[in-house]
Each structure stands twice: as C-alpha cells, then as structure tokens.
Amino acid sequence: MSWGKGEPRGYHHGNLRETLIRAAMDLIAKKGTAGFTFAEAARFAGVSPAAPYRHFRDRDELMAQVAVRGFVAFEAALARAWDEGRPNPLAALDRLGKAYLDFVRAEPAYYAAMFEGGIPASADPQLRDASERAFAVLRAAAEKLCAATPPAGRPPSLMVALHIWTMAHGVASLFGRGDGAQRALPMSPAELLEAQVLVYLRGLGVTGA
C-alpha cells in the first residue's frame, strides 16, 4: 500500500501517528523491513527526528503497528474467503488459499512487516492478538475439514492448520509475491497451492469433506 497519486509525503497537519505509519509502509515497500531507520521514517514523513517519539517508543514499535494493521486486513480477507466453509469445506479452503496468495501479492509492505520485520508477536499484545485472530480462521477451516474424517483416524486440527499455513506461506513467499523476491513458476501459484493441499488432504483421508 502506498501514497495516493500526487499526495505529498510530508506531514503538514492532522494525525502524526497515521502519517508515520503510512511513511513506514512506503519505506518498507521500497526498501524492505531492514532498509530504513526511525529517523528516516521521520524524514520521509516530513517531521523532526524527535517527533515520532511522541507516538512510538522506537522503530520496532512503529514496525509492529504496521504489522498489526496487516494482520487485521489479512484476517478480514481470509474470513471473507472462508465464509464459514460454504458451500463445502474443500471449495471454501480453495478460496482461502487464493485469498492468502492475493493478499501477499497486493500488500507486500504489510506482508513484510508481518513476517519479515523481526518483531516477535509476543513482544506486543496487539500484534499477538491480531496474528492469533488471523490464524484462527485457518484453524476453524482445519477443524471443519477434520470433522469429515472418521474419528478413529482423525488428525489433530491444529496440526492440519499449521501444515496448510506452511504450504500457503511457502508458495506465497517463493512464487506469489508482488515484489522483486518473486520466483518464476511454470504454473500459477494458486494451482501449485491447490495441488499441494489436495495431495496432503487425500493423504489424511479427507477426500469428501
């Protein structure tokens, strides 16, 4: 996400906190999470190096706030796609995977702050809660999928959620990004992810959910 066309980057009036968060997002999109300092974020926003300290303890806290916003938007995108498993869990899971890839491609700055910023979720209560709510969508999907397997051989839903997350995240990181880190692939990232998930679920006996 970046500044609107023709919109000045400097801060003139209004919400300084919001201006700094948007400046950080623009810098992350341009330079990556390790590519800017707290002072540079202030300069990019058009304020003095001391001004950000009115709202953020340091660069890590600013980065965490960008990540929080990313996870909130991520949760909303995943929840819309999952739609409580309608019309059936497998079709909804396919939408969920596509939504994961779409988010990473459309919001590379959010994605980088969420997963590459070096800020552990445990370090910030807001970040922890936002990330857990996003993962809860994947876990709800796994629970519904696992409910369709025979009780005797039913896998733990948390394990299934973590496996599906790993697959989606791996495909997104390698092949689905909207920045220079994207790799070439002889098929679409969505097709690759769909095939991976189907093979995995068939291995667990989840074929007719």
Give DSSP secondary structure letters for 5-37.
TT---S--SS-HHHHHHHHHHHHHHHH-TTS--
- Residue 208 is predicted with a pLDDT of 56
**pLDDT < 50 regions, the chain:** 1-13, 209
- Residue 123 is predicted with a pLDDT of 84
- Residue 91 is predicted with a pLDDT of 94
The pTM (predicted TM-score) of the whole model is: 0.86
Compute the distance between CA of residue 80 and CA of residue 132 in angstroms, rounded to an integer: 17
Sequence ranges of the domains in the chain: 1-56, 59-204
CATH of domain 1-56: 1.10.10
- Residue 179 is predicted with a pLDDT of 67
- Residue 36 is predicted with a pLDDT of 82
- Residue 5 is predicted with a pLDDT of 36
Compute the distance between CA of residue 129 and CA of residue 191 in angstroms, rounded to an integer: 31
The class of domain 59-204 in CATH terms is mainly alpha
- Residue 6 is predicted with a pLDDT of 36
- Residue 10 is predicted with a pLDDT of 47
- Residue 181 is predicted with a pLDDT of 62
- Residue 11 is predicted with a pLDDT of 44
As a whole number, the mean pLDDT across the chain is 88
Give DSSP secondary structure letters for 31-74.
H-TTS--HHHHHHHHTS-TTGGGGT-SSHHHHHHHHHHHHHHHH
